[in-house]
Copies of this chain bind each other. A is one copy, B any other.
Amino acid sequence: MKISMRGLCLAAIATAVIGSSAQQTSDFDPQSHSTFTTDRSDGKYVSSRAIAHNLMVANPPRLHYKSGMNPQEFAAWKDNMATAMRQLMNYPEANISEPPVKVKTVERDGYRVEKWEAYPLEGAVVPYLVMIPDGVNAEHKAPALLCIPGFGQTKELLAGETAVDLDNSTVNPTKNAMGYYYVKEGYVAVVVDNPGCGEPSDIERLAGSGADYVTLSRALLELDWSYLGYTAFVDHYILNWMKTQPEMRSDRIVVSGFSLGTEPLMAIGVTDPDIFAFVYNDFLCTTRERALVMTLPNAHGYRPWPNDISHLIPGFLTMFDFPDIVAALAPRPVICTEGGMDRDFNMVADAFATAGAPDAFSPHHYAMFVEDSSRTYLDEMPKGIDRATFFKLANVDPPHHYFKAEHILPWLRTILAD
């Protein structure tokens, strides 16, 4: 066989996914092909890609939030959301009972950092950090936040630590160090890595290369699992451990996700009623709609897909889109810190009103979109756009994507006041 046939098809993938890496080979005009069209008189499509697209359009999320539910209907809908999410996350049977172990403790200014290891799967180690303010103990418990990083971030970055073994006493809290800001507020911060990045990365780190989320995701997908399923399983395992820790208030556990970390936040949140509140630090993305409208091809005729397979959970988008999941967190307090479409914020707000907790949802826009007049209002995204246009129309300011301490810390003080 040609290596390019059943092989990795490097060239095919490179061109198909990257596109711009190749030379333009024609006077092809991307704009004139921004959406799927057919010139057949019967309106049918020959393009397999168009057929798949139309199938996706014809199968909207079965559990999409609908306004006007009564309390019983809303409760039943939330149960269905949780059931669907459990099926999609496909946690394995817990097959071992080896409890997490504390492997190190270092003192910092006003708090200590403990390094722990969890063993959620046979032969597997998941390291995480626990940041505990001075004076917090079994007698003086504190709220506890599970902190989940964004793409490319590590638990050390979130903790303000500069060494995986914590041996460097110099802390360096950058503006994305959510764990550091939480512990300084007097809360316990439990900080995890995302799978495949940082300490749990594979050997690519030894070669000075960036984390390979994609091949890890492929291995998990072959097992009928997924990157998000594995992430949610591991994070949920640690969250359940948090519920048993003497210095943490099991009735005040908050999940705080940054960017990529908002995905496990949603997966865990909708399936675990024990979580008290949620910090959603990203824009509220309709990820299914984005895949459907971002069809503007590049100069080589390749239409993009908005993200890589670390975001692929087969069937996920046939059940719900992200705003539906955030709506299903009602009435528990949720702060969204980086805007999105008013359409989606209004939908989530409607769910919180339906749940009898209209004040529990705290949406914030990017600074440049705070003024109502500065935002774009759409009932639906236009078709055939590119990534930059999607972000612009969704009121997203990519250069200012960071941990929004200015919104989050005052909000936490309010909801965690008692």
Q: Enumerate chain A interface residues (CB-CB to B < 8 A).
A: 1-18, 21-22, 24-26, 28, 33, 40, 43-56, 58-59, 119, 121-127, 150-152, 195-196, 199-216, 218-224, 230, 259-260, 282-283, 285, 287, 291, 297, 299-309, 311-312, 314-318, 338, 387, 391, 396, 398, 401
Contacts and interface: CB of A to CB of B under 8 A. Distances in A.
Given A18-B10, A206-B28, A312 B1 contact: no
Contacts of A216: 48-49, 52
Question: Which of A4, A21, A201, A301 has its CB near the most chain B CB atoms (within 10 A)?
Answer: A301
A39 to B, nearest CB: 12
A218 B302 CA distance: 13
Contacts of A40: 125
A214 B12 contact: yes
B16 A214 contact: yes
A13 B18 contact: yes
Contact of A47 (B12, B202, B307, B312): B202
Nearest to A388: B3
Contacts of A318: 222-224
A157 to B, nearest CB: 14
Contacts of A152: 4-5
Contacts of A123: 43-45, 51, 54
Contacts of A22: 209
A157 B312 CA distance: 34
Given A5-B401, A13-B18, A209 B44 contact: no
A53 B202 CA distance: 11
Contacts of A299: 207
B260 A222 contact: no
A286 to B, nearest CB: 12
Nearest to A207: B301
A212 B317 CA distance: 22
A404 to B, nearest CB: 12
Nearest to A34: B203
